[in-house]
Structure 1
Amino acid sequence: MSGAIPFSFFQALGSKPAQLHRSGDQAFPLASLIDEPYWEGPYDHFKGWAPGKADSSKSNRPAWASGSLPPGFERWAEKKIDGASNGNVTGAQNRTSHRNFYSSVDDPLRITNLDHELLEPIARALRDHRVPITHVVLVLMESARKDIFPFKAGSHLHDEILSSYTTPDHEVLRNLTAKLSKLTPNAEKLTGEASGFPLSNDSSSISGGGWNDLTELEMGGINVHGVLTGSSLSFKSAVINYCGAGPLPVNFMDEVKAQIYQPCIMQIFEWFNQLKGDSTQNTEHTRFRTELEHMHERNWSSVFMQSITGLYDDQNILNTKMGFKQSIYRENIGQRNAKYYHKDMEEINYFGYPEYEIRPYLQDVVNAAIQKNERLFLSHFTSTTHHPWGTPSDYPKEQYFADDGLMAKHEDMNSYLNAVRYVDTWLGDMMKVFDEAGIANETLTVFVGDQYVAPIYNILLPKLTPSSGQAFSEDTPVSGTYENGHISNFRIPLVFHHPLLPKLQITANATSMSIIPTILDLLVNSGSLNELDSNVALDLMNEYEGQSLLRPYQATHNGRQAWNFGIINPGGTMLSVGSAAVPYRLILPLTEDFEYVFSDLDTDPDELNPLRGWSLEQLIGRVQRNHGDKAGKWLSEAEKVGKWWIGEQKRLWNYQ
């Protein structure tokens, strides 16, 4: 697929822009915050925190970390893991003992919240009744902006739509409101957020995809506000979502060539399988076990599915590297001998088919897990909301913007909104599959926004097609995700849906690095793992950089801030730097071709008026004049920490 469009041509040009920052070992720039008086000793599953002290991660190898460990667990391996890449992108034959590994003890940025109690509504629900999590589903939603999940009255996009109507009469506005109220009904159900349109305030009454959500009132799970993606390049984002590892800040997917420095969730589930051994095969032994014990002893299977190609940018290789045991792509379902192939299958874009083509395969995977008495980790990637935002030819299109001769200005956004409505309906139908299989009340479904690769040939050959991505002309003068750090490319939805969890709205200026710690926290505290697996999960939760969203999010600790970083497509030209402690945001240029950009998301949430400067000193002066000395000081620190993080990520990925 990469060769089918001029994407590979861009790479073949071989141009390497002048780098402002280089990788390599470097001291943490805010040294006074990691001095010995701030060090913390180990207790329970917490390994301690002492940056600069000799790394004790190997000497403190957990008791369970022995034998043949799966990929992702290399830092505890006694010797090189058979078949595992040495993790050096250049292919140099380094010994495993000479490689760099992540250490939570030595990470100067790490702030944990695992020492805090669970949020009270969650704790109460887990205490008062069983919340079984037999299966976990992770849905990556292409170009799903937070402001369209659900689409809300009074949002920036809503205002843009309204402003396209110069003198609308009452009937026009009523019809428009009716259409907008039906845009994302299933997102309303999943998030517990009403869109605010008069016809949809009672979202439970709206059908979408045939899904009649039977979740009780005030139940349904956790909806997180304030989350940013860690990358506007899709597969770098996938590494964050599945593996809790920060991306590699270089152009394109060199992660495919390297060893991922954290265990991916699929590899953790595979390790749970190895720890069980053959005990599940002994039916006589398991006959008299309780229902909970039966769930504990069932093996996990991991399946990925999407209706588009799996060959783009080596996604199939990355999926195997991350630990998926089975993957279903366009290449599988589009074959004439495929189980559900039909001759009228319609390709809606240059990537493949609409989501509904995988529905029967989804049903088969779910039914197979039930029949085999397995626990299922299922992941699905939606793609219709990627450029060119095509929907099936028989799908009814709506016009949301005024048709006043200026429609071409809003054509892309209008197509995108139709694709959003299509995917929302599909999500409802997907949830219906779980209902029909009888597993809805034992399934944790995580929905997270994702970004796809903006076609770079738009930059090289702009007449071929409009640019794609999340940001549109209604948001910013620069459309797409490519070399575009605008906030609309980074705000994403994140929902942890379970019918037996309380409906909870929380705010955390976090990134999707928190997904794995939160899943593990839920599995442990819901009693969904046996004692040994729980101990492994508790150890691993303390190894990830992200915080658990089941607990109060810690924006600061002992003067340190919870920093967050976002790679900007294609990865090596600029970096988004933010902090949970303040509303400020820095776009840090990694080459000499881009400006420094500062915004205050409290006063300018849609980044309509950011401050810019070709040098940091120039920008600091402007920030101090407009936002005060505190903001200027933060900007100076953000630039230093961002530069340090770039080198640190290259070190962790053993990138040379």
Structure 2
Amino acid sequence: MVLSWACTTAIWVMANSLFSSVFSTKFTEKIDEELTLDRLQQNTRRQRVVRIWALCAVALTVGLRLVRPQVPYNHMSGALPFTFFEALRSKSKPDQLGDQDFPLSELIGEEYWEAPHGHFKGWAPGGDDKIDTIGRPEWASEFLPHGFQRWESTLESVYETEEGHEQKPPKNYYKPANDPLRITNLNQNVVEPIARAIKNHNVPINHVFLVMMESARKDIFPIKADSHLHHEILSSYHNPDPAIIQLVNSKLSHLTPIAEQLTGESSGFRSSGNRSEGLWKDTAESGMGGINVNGILTGSSLSFKSAVMNHCGVGPIPVDFMDEVKAEIYQPCIMQVLDLFNQLKGDSTSSTGSRIGINDAQHRNWTSVFLQSITGLYDDQDVLNNQMGFKKAIYSEEISRSSAKHYHPGMEEINYFGYAEREVYPYLKDIVNEAIENKERLFFSHFTSTTHHPWSTPADFHDEQYFAVDGLMSNHEDMNNYLNTVRYVDGWLGDILKVLDDTGIANETLVVLVGDHNFRIPLVFRHPLLPKIQITANATSMSIVPTILDLLVQTGSLDDKDSTAALDLLNEYEGQSLIRPYQATHNGRQAWNFGIINAGGTMLSVGSAAVPYRLILPLAEDFEFVFSNLDSDPDELYPIRGWSAEELIPRVRSRHGEQAAQWVNEAEKVGRWWVAERKRLWNFE
């Protein structure tokens, strides 16, 4: 205020001069004294010069405004007077939390409704008056674990939690019978090889490990010869001779040997020397080892939004960063489901204090532990893990204390998040041994981090040079570092599996490995007694929780009460089970896939299991629409762009035909509906 008061006179004089020059007028107000004739003549000459430049500026501004497209260049006029007038125009209202009209209403008419039967809740979007979707299930007790609020809310408007706190039920919650996008495959039989293995052999799942691999891309899990990345590496050498190619290929053959064993996919490189020396070697019988899923897309390129999707089977909030920690997750996370199983067992201790059925794994309680070598404070990850239901979590903050059990001098921080993965190796062994000693069933979750920027490895790890070293090395240095971190983490995955072998629980443990931070990611359900099969499903990691529950039920790893609850809950989740044939369409509807792009509120990836198309849908101004056809352009090197759907659709029609153009039109509408629906389900204000 003081500064503006002091500048008032000077600003008034400058504005007076400018407007007088432009409009050939002058203000009659005098500041201190009347202008003399000489000064008037000088001002007149000065005004002519100012008038010319002012008129040029106005003409240039108006001209640019007329010829320049509004998007994406509208921000370039932000400092000009037009912005003021634009601010006066009415803005569109923000997304409301009320029910949203589904844009493809012709696909959800009453003729398509399905009646409930068995554990299936029925399907009747908009038909709650005809299908009851809120009823309290038989397995629901008076006090349910956190995460089951919507079942508690059927009792009273305000209910008391098991801890004695009063809590209001969520205003909105997920109802599968009212979800216009939901397509279930639980009416399909388990795929034949898995069903046969379960029928002919005992396939126990007493423990579940979920490993989320930071920045793990499908094209490096494992890396493959003749892939786009392989050609990029070779092209950095500028017409290499056969000896150079052989040397590079030899190095690449050592890049992802563990991933090759886990997926059953060969890299296609011929190895020189023993690439398995010092690394884990799969001891599963030939043809056995678990399920490798191809076609999986990330639900979010922001890691902790992916974590919510992977552990809870929900779509994250399409807003920037982790507002999920401030809201109630709208589905029970897998750790909370396991808590429910514990609750259903009741008191497993006899009056004499001895454990009943303690040697029967079905009657043992579950415990859940999260472990990582980096900080748990970034993006409130520690808050999120607690909210998702982990009983115990270990981060770099714990292992870096001098009082920590396995603390040792010289612990090396390799990046700004914390330590390399092998610093938590002794803690991993402790976690497994404690679960065995306590006769508990373990749900273990781990997040790798070395493959995150700045892509550093420990000092004692030998880095390879994959790209050519020349004047262009600066163009490849980051990617070269990334590949070395990939090799480091590949070996670390082998260390995790070694712990299972060494402790004797490998044949009773389901290991789920899922990528992150990229659009196309690996997903493996590893178990030595399951057949090694390849499944293709154009799906997202939202299917992880339903698949785990389905495997627990189908393998007989749950008792009757737990199985009943699990089958009921299976029908509550949006994702399909990946051990059954994936349903890409149903009654004309498509199985849509959505992926939030970092940081969350600016762009959305929209795809469908029914077609090979992908649309990048901007959620904020100044971002383009982008269309890709993965059949003709699998590496998405030649996408079609447009600054609006109206601009993009004709271009898609011209190159890919009417079907693709119609799909873009529907994808844009469904994507925007999905954004509003996520906010409604999360009760996001």
Q: Which interval holds the TM-score relative to the shorter structure? A: 0.7 to 0.9
> Deviation at 1:59?
4.5
Q: Distance in 2 between matches of 1:180 and 1:395?
A: 16
Q: 1:639 maps to what in 2?
A: 668
Higher RCO structure (Cα 8 Å, ≥6 apart) = 1
Q: 1:251 maps to what in 2?
A: 320
Q: Distance in 1 between matches of 2:92 and 2:433?
A: 52
> Deviation at 1:280?
4.9
Q: Indicate which of 95, 102, 124 corresponds to 1:22.
A: 95
Q: Distance in 2 between matches of 1:155 and 1:21?
A: 44
Q: 2:464 maps to what in 1?
A: 398
CA change 1:84–1:240 in 2 (3 A) is farther
- Per-residue Cα deviation, 1:53-106 (whole angstroms, up to 9, x for no partner): 117556432101121011111111124454699xxxxxxx9942x610100010
Instruction: Determine if contact 1:565/1:577 at 8 Å carries over to the other structure.
Output: yes
Q: 2:270 maps to what in 1?
A: 198
Q: Indicate which of 548, 551, 569 corresponds to 1:522.
A: 551
Matched, 1:350 2:416: yes
Q: Indicate which of 298, 320, 324 corresponds to 2:364.
A: 298
Matched, 1:216 2:268: no
Q: Distance in 2 between matches of 1:633 and 1:425?
A: 46
Q: Match of 1:172, as an amino acid?
A: I
Q: 1:114 maps to what in 2?
A: 186
Q: 2:651 maps to what in 1?
A: 622
Q: Match of 1:74, as an amino acid?
A: Q
Q: Distance in 2 between matches of 1:628 and 1:614?
A: 20
Q: Distance in 1 between matches of 2:350 and 2:211?
A: 31
Q: 1:4 maps to what in 2?
A: none
How many residue pairs align between the two structures?
A: 589
Q: Match of 1:296, as an amino acid?
A: Q
- Per-residue Cα deviation, 1:390-429 (whole angstroms, up to 9, x for no partner): 1001211100011122111000000000000000011101
Q: 1:63 maps to what in 2?
A: 138
Q: Distance in 1 between matches of 2:372 and 2:358?
A: 36
> Deviation at 1:211?
1.3
Matched, 1:496 2:562: no
Instruction: Determine if contact 1:34/1:108 at 8 Å carries over to the other structure.
Output: yes
Q: 2:217 maps to what in 1?
A: 145
CA change 1:282–1:177 in 2 (3 A) is farther
Greater CA drift, 302-311 or 57-66: 57-66
Q: 1:37 maps to what in 2?
A: 111
Bigger radius of gyration among the two: 2
Q: Distance in 2 between matches of 1:23 and 1:216?
A: 55
Instruction: Determine if contact 2:144/2:162 at 8 Å carries over to the other structure.
Output: no
Q: Distance in 2 between matches of 1:259 and 1:497?
A: 31
Q: Distance in 1 between matches of 2:381 and 2:132?
A: 32
Q: Match of 1:163, as an amino acid?
A: S
> Deviation at 1:580?
0.2
* Structure 2 residue matching 1:222: 3-state secondary structure: strand
Q: 1:52 maps to what in 2?
A: 126
CA change 1:608–1:297 in 2 (3 A) is same
CA change 1:81–1:121 in 2 (3 A) is farther
CA change 1:337–1:613 in 2 (3 A) is same
CA change 1:94–1:534 in 2 (3 A) is closer
Greater CA drift, 318-327 or 53-62: 53-62
* Structure 2 residue matching 1:506: 3-state secondary structure: strand
Q: Match of 2:348, as an amino acid?
A: S
Q: 1:262 maps to what in 2?
A: 331
Q: 2:30 maps to what in 1?
A: none
CA change 1:384–1:28 in 2 (3 A) is same
Aligned ranges for residues 316-335 of structure 1 at < 5 Å? 316-335=382-401
Q: Distance in 2 between matches of 1:51 and 1:594?
A: 33
Matched, 1:598 2:672: no
> Deviation at 1:169?
2.2
Greater CA drift, 172-181 or 369-378: 172-181
Q: Match of 2:605, as an amino acid?
A: S
Q: Distance in 2 between matches of 1:44 and 1:628?
A: 43
Q: 2:16 maps to what in 1?
A: none
Matched, 1:443 2:509: yes
Q: 2:149 maps to what in 1?
A: 74
Q: Distance in 2 between matches of 1:225 and 1:175?
A: 30
CA change 1:510–1:149 in 2 (3 A) is same
Matched, 1:512 2:529: no
Q: Distance in 1 between matches of 2:228 and 2:433?
A: 42
Q: 1:418 maps to what in 2?
A: 484
Q: CA RMSD in A?
A: 2.0
Unaligned runs of 5+ in 2: 1-86
Runs of 4+ with >3 A deviation = 17-21, 55-59, 79-85, 280-287
* Structure 1 residue matching 2:181: 3-state secondary structure: coil
- Per-residue Cα deviation, 1:594-618 (whole angstroms, up to 9, x for no partner): 0111110111111111001111111
| TM-score of the pair, normalised by structure 2 | 0.83
* Structure 2 residue matching 1:118: 3-state secondary structure: coil
Q: Match of 1:575, as an amino acid?
A: L
CA change 1:582–1:232 in 2 (3 A) is same
Q: Equivalent pairs: percent with the same residue?
A: 66
Q: Match of 2:501, as an amino acid?
A: D
* Structure 1 residue matching 2:178: 3-state secondary structure: coil
Matched, 1:607 2:681: no
Instruction: Determine if contact 2:253/2:267 at 8 Å carries over to the other structure.
Output: yes
Instruction: Determine if contact 1:209/1:425 at 8 Å carries over to the other structure.
Output: no
Q: 2:442 maps to what in 1?
A: 376
CA change 1:429–1:348 in 2 (3 A) is same
* Structure 1 residue matching 2:285: 3-state secondary structure: coil
Q: Match of 1:646, as an amino acid?
A: V
Matched, 1:572 2:641: no
Q: Indicate which of 218, 230, 236 corresponds to 1:158.
A: 230
Q: Match of 1:61, as an amino acid?
A: R
Matched, 1:99 2:171: yes
Instruction: Determine if contact 1:20/1:591 at 8 Å carries over to the other structure.
Output: no
> Deviation at 1:172?
1.6
Instruction: Determine if contact 2:296/2:522 at 8 Å carries over to the other structure.
Output: yes
| TM-score of the pair, normalised by structure 1 | 0.87
Q: Distance in 1 between matches of 2:250 and 2:132?
A: 58
Q: Indicate which of 113, 126, 130 corresponds to 2:202.
A: 130
Instruction: Determine if contact 2:366/2:440 at 8 Å carries over to the other structure.
Output: yes
Aligned ranges for residues 3-14 of structure 1 at < 5 Å? none
* Structure 2 residue matching 1:198: 3-state secondary structure: coil
Q: 1:459 maps to what in 2?
A: none
Q: Distance in 2 between matches of 1:593 and 1:70?
A: 44
Unaligned runs of 5+ in 1: 1-16, 86-92, 452-488
Q: 2:682 maps to what in 1?
A: 653
> Deviation at 1:186?
0.3
